[in-house]
Amino acid sequence: MSLVACAPAAPKVERPIKVGIIDCYSGPPAVYAEDALNGFKLALEEINKEGVLGTTIEYTTRDTKFKVDIGLSMAKELVMQEKVDILVGTISSGVALAVSDYVKEEKVPFIVWISKSEKITGAKGHRYVFSTGENTAMAGKAGGVALAKKPYTKYWIAGDDYEYGHAIADAAWRNLQALKADVELIGESWWKVGEPDLVPYLTAIMGAKPDA
């Protein structure tokens, strides 16, 4: 108790704490990014009423357009030109992984609030990256357990060809194999995000006649 009482107070910050938000504000994924931003604004309003470390928090946003190269460029702009103290985002796991590599070198904290690839805090995790939600390892384990209870043995994996699509499929398949040794992967189909015509993929899947 005496040690706590004697602990020095946290130093006050003489300027606002700057947060840079990188997320996809273009196209269909924007609905998720806008939800996250609205939640951030609500929390910020409450925090700034009392302040933190004797100051307030301000933020600025950048649109990644759901592209890794643009997302990384925007992160660099926020760090080098806007001089943000913290980066936050993003819906895209691919963008999150690229930005994570960058902030590791720059020693800038990066809070990931939607991206779910387990690599973010797993294989490619480091002391400057943090995640606020569940990841593909968790969802994949639940999916593997559910599928193991089914009578199916022949599987075909299909989905969007990007980091999250592969990460969730890999996690589910890995966990299913661990629980049910006789399952067989007879094929895979991966289409571009937003690709309008899935008929060729569905035709191939139906022709292979997987159980699931």
pLDDT tens-place values along the chain, 212 residues long = 444 455 555 566 678 999 999 999 999 999 999 999 999 999 999 999 999 989 999 999 999 999 999 999 999 999 999 999 999 999 999 999 999 999 999 999 999 999 999 999 999 999 999 999 999 999 999 999 999 999 999 999 999 999 999 999 999 999 999 999 999 999 999 999 989 999 999 999 999 999 99
| φ, ψ of residue 18 in degrees (nearest 5) | -100, 125
pLDDT value at position 6? Answer: 52
pLDDT value at position 34? Answer: 97
Taking the C-alpha atoms of residue 97 and residue 2, their distance in angstroms, rounded to an integer, is 43
Q: Is 38 exposed, middle or buried (0-12, 13-18, 19+ CB in 10 A)?
A: exposed
pLDDT value at position 14? Answer: 76
pLDDT value at position 11? Answer: 62
Please name each of the domains of the chain with its CATH number. Answer: 11-133 (3.40.50.2300), 137-208 (3.40.50.2300)
**Of residues 91, 84, 86, 75, the one with CA closest to residue 34:** 91
pLDDT value at position 3? Answer: 45
